[in-house]
Amino acid sequence: MGANRPSIIAWWLTDNADGTNLTGDGQPSAEPLRRAAQHRGLPLRLPLADLSEQPLASAKALEGNDPAGLRSASERYGADALLAVHATGSDGQMQAKWQLWLGDQREKGTVQGANNAALADAVMLAVSQKLAPRFIVKPGASSDLALEVQGMNLDRYAQLGRMLEGFGGRLVSVEGDKVVYQVTGSPDQLRAQLSLAKLQETPADPAQPQPAGTPAMLHFHW
């Protein structure tokens, strides 16, 4: 995978006085997870947490040694790694047991936090630290970049949006089948992430020099 960090599908189950809840994409409880992942530079995806998925995410499954059921359910999301988190407690004293599977390798740990946001950040920090030795991520190498992608269609909008989650991608402009995003990261990280989806880089046109004071722009096409 080179310089990029893998995309992660997170199965996050919370047990507290209000009951048991699997955090799904679009739920209010997803927002602290997304912020923490972006802060720690992790491209995060969340399941739909629909009726077919709720039974899969039990405490036993999330803390167990065999992720077969979760792996199968994760295939629809196309992520590189699987993160299973079982959070317990309430505001003031929360704890989470987490496990990360990347291929056949597993990492695990336990973290604590005062609230949901702090707990999410502690988990993402721990995961980031475990991944750091395996992927080339140079401290301080991140910068603001502009990314131009040509050959867009409706399906590719969704796919590109997911790929840019860990880079804080923000859509700046749309012109026909061409889009421009503002992202934060290193050019090598961004190139490696886009190459996973078979995007190809287009050399910059020397006849159109980059204006002074603007973010460096990378050009890609499908």
Average pLDDT, the chain: 86
Comparing CA positions, the residue from 40, 62, 74, 57 lying closest to residue 108 is: 62
Q: What is the mean pLDDT of residues 80-109?
A: 92
Q: Which of 110, 134, 158 is the last residue of a domain?
A: 134
Q: Which two tokens stand for residue 207?
A: 């006849």
Q: Which two tokens stand for residue 153?
A: 């269609």
Q: Are residues 15 and 113 in the same domain?
A: yes
How far, in Å, CA of 29 to CA of 14, rounded? Answer: 10
The whole-number pLDDT of residue 140 equals: 45
Query: Within 10 A of 197 (CB to CB), how many other CB atoms are there?
Result: 14
Answer whether 183's CB lies under 8 Å from 172's CB.
no
Confidence of residue 2 (pLDDT cuts 50, 70, 90): very low
Q: Are residues 123 and 154 in the same domain?
A: no
Domain tally for the chain?
A: 2
Confidence of residue 180 (pLDDT cuts 50, 70, 90): very high
The whole-number pLDDT of residue 131 equals: 79
Which of residues 186 and 83 earns the better pLDDT score? 83
pTM of the model: 0.62
Q: Residue 203 above 90 pLDDT?
A: no
Confirm whether 64 is domain-assigned.
Answer: yes
CATH of residue 174's domain is: 3.30.70
Q: Residue 11 above 90 pLDDT?
A: yes
Domain that holds residue 196: 143-221
Q: Residue 138 above 60 pLDDT?
A: no
pLDDT tens-digit readout, 98-125:
999 988 889 999 999 999 999 999 999 8
Q: Are residues 15 and 124 in the same domain?
A: yes
| Percentage of residues in the chain having pLDDT higher than 70 | 88
Query: Within 10 A of 172 (CB to CB), how many other CB atoms are there?
Result: 13
Q: Residue 137 above 50 pLDDT?
A: no
DSSP string, 90-104: ETTEEEEEEEEEETT
Handedness of CA 100, 102, 103, 105 (dihedral sign): negative
Q: Which two tokens stand for residue 81?
A: 């790694």
Q: Which of 112, 134, 156 is the last residue of a domain?
A: 134
Q: Residue 4 above 60 pLDDT?
A: no
